[in-house]
Amino acid sequence: MLARLSSDVRQYLLITGNYWAFTLTDGALRMLVVLHFHALGYSPLQVAMLFLFYEIFGVVTNLLGGWLGARIGLNRTMNIGLAMQVVALSMLVAPSPWLTVPWVMSAQALSGVAKDLNKMSAKSSIKLLVPGDQQGLLFRWVAALTGSKNALKGVGFFLGGALLTMVGFTQAVAIMAAALLLVWLASLALLKRDLGKAKAKPKFRDILSKSRAINLLSAARLCLFGARDVWFVVALPVFLATSLGWDFWQIGGFLAAWIIGYGVVQSLAPFFTARRSGRVPDGRGAFAWALGLAIVPATMAALLGGGHDAKTILLVGLMAFGVLFAINSSLHSYLIVSYASEDGVSLDVGFYYMANALGRLLGTVLSGWVFQVAGIGACLAISAAFVGAASVISLALPRHRTPAATPNP
């Protein structure tokens, strides 16, 4: 069956499988760390700080990883990412007395580097497997990769909560490290050599994007992911545990269901944003969808401030936020791959995901600090402001000149 598929499709499936396996461990590890260290008595801000190096190193990795991928090939950067995640997980199998804050932050730093090398490689590779004149196909492939990845991240959230309940922190991490080691060995043998290697060796100064469209989209992406993580990363799971009294498996299962649904919507984003109009999205679409998203956290913050039932507001609001955020994220993921230059594509994609990581970093720190100081309502208000900024920035993105036009890098 697989032998009858084209080489490009087989490579796409292999890249997607690598991305899935990595994402499963990444989502599970995040839930394990949040819930385990909260149970040990860490404050919300202290839990957020455990992810500080994860996000900081993600910023650096995306910026430098795109340059590295263009020089040595995306197959190598993807495999390096898988290997580093195995090492990061192995560090957390250490005896409990070793799991100090600096040690956990160091493991998270390595995991942050690994995650963004893997993601940058996967997203960049798609550009090279789809002909440049097939923008609709490119949008569908990017949406499928991104959506399926996030659905698996949701499964990872549930897996992390379930494993923590059943076997404890150390054994859970050991199981994931062993499974990912097998995936890495398979990837070494099967992934095409020199995929994404630039024809001309890029200079180090080329890491900073010179494209106005990519710079604008990167700024919008920073705001978009800051808006999500400012209330989702630390504030929400800690609120569910402390204010609503939910158990670990309930929190993991609920967030898993949300992420899975979010991933499904991402995969269907081409239907919502392009199928009915007969064209792929542009800056006008990015503005409209971001504006619609901004209304959700603003409304949730207002209702919480008015003393309405927090459980109902969060459950209903999360569903609405998840649908609109998924469409926004998928639309952005398509636009960056479309705008990126084909030769040395990872330079542009890496720069963009550097901004994505910077937004996550800002959101993660604010999630712990603002929640500890002012509560989840304040986190939602900041989220609305971030999305509002993303919509304003999107106004300046390129637009189609005619209904039949496709984005022009």
Write down all domains in the chain, each with its CATH number in brackets: 2-394 (1.20.1250.20)
Looking at residue 405, its pLDDT comes to 39
pLDDT at 341: 66
Which pLDDT value is given to residue 408?
A: 37
pLDDT mean over 312-336: 88
For 321-333, the DSSP string reads HHHHHHHHHHHHH
**Phi-psi map region of 245: left, alpha, beta (phi>0 left; psi -120 to 50 alpha):** left
CA-to-CA separations, 71 to 26, 65, 171, 345, 382, in angstroms, rounded: 27, 10, 38, 11, 39
3-26 confidence digits (pLDDT tens): 555 566 677 677 777 778 888 888
Reported residue count of the chain is 409
- As a whole number, mean pLDDT of residues 325-330 equals 89
pLDDT class for 195, splitting at 50, 70, 90? low
Higher-pLDDT residue of 211 and 391 is 391
Q: Considering only residues 173 and 44, tell me which one the structure prediction assigns the higher pLDDT.
A: 173
**C-alpha count within 13 angstroms, C-beta hemisphere, residue 327:** 21
Beta carbons within 10 angstroms of residue 135's beta carbon: 19
Average pLDDT score over the chain: 79
Would the pLDDT of 285 be above 90? no
Share of the chain above pLDDT 90, in %: 16
- Which residues, 6 or more positions from 322, have their beta carbon under 8 angstroms from its beta carbon? 258, 261, 262, 265
Angle at 361 between CA 359 and CA 367, to 5 degrees: 100
pLDDT digit string, tens, across residues 71-129:
777 778 888 888 999 999 998 888 777 777 788 888 888 888 888 788 777 767 666 66
pLDDT number for residue 77: 82
Question: Residue holding tokens 């998924």?
Answer: 326
Q: Per the confidence metrics, is the pTM higher than 0.75?
A: no
For residue 225, what pLDDT is reported? 92
Between CA 56 and CA 65, with CA 59 as vertex, the angle to 5 degrees is 130
- The answer to whether the beta carbons of residues 327 and 266 sit under 8 Å apart is yes
Inform me whether the pLDDT recorded for 45 exceeds 50. yes
Q: Convert the pLDDT of each residue in 339-363 to its tens digit.
A: 776 555 667 777 887 888 889 888 9
pLDDT band, very low/low/confident/very high, at 296 (cuts 50, 70, 90): very high
Place of tokens 């798609």: 126
Q: How far is residue 316's CA from residue 319's CA, in Å, rounded to a whole number?
A: 5
Q: How far is CA 349 from CA 220, 296, 344, 409, in A?
A: 14, 29, 9, 13
Alpha-carbon distance 368 to 74, whole Å?
A: 35
Q: Which of 12-21, 123-132, 282-291, 380-389 has the highest mean pLDDT?
A: 380-389
Which residues fall within 8 angstroms of residue 81, CB to CB, at 6 or more apart?
Answer: 22, 113, 114, 115, 116, 117, 118, 121
Number of Cβ atoms within 10 Å of the Cβ of 54: 29
The sign of the CA dihedral 157, 321, 136, 208 is negative
Residue 232 pLDDT greater than 70, yes or no: yes
Give the model's pLDDT for residue 159.
82
What confidence tier does 264 reach under pLDDT thresholds 50, 70, 90?
Answer: confident
According to the model, what pLDDT value does residue 384 have?
A: 95
For residue 401, what pLDDT is reported?
A: 46
Query: Tell me, what amino acid is at 390?
Result: A
Give the dihedral sign, CA 143/149/150/155.
Answer: positive
126-182 pLDDT, tens per residue? 666 665 556 666 667 677 777 777 777 778 877 887 888 888 888 888 998 998 999
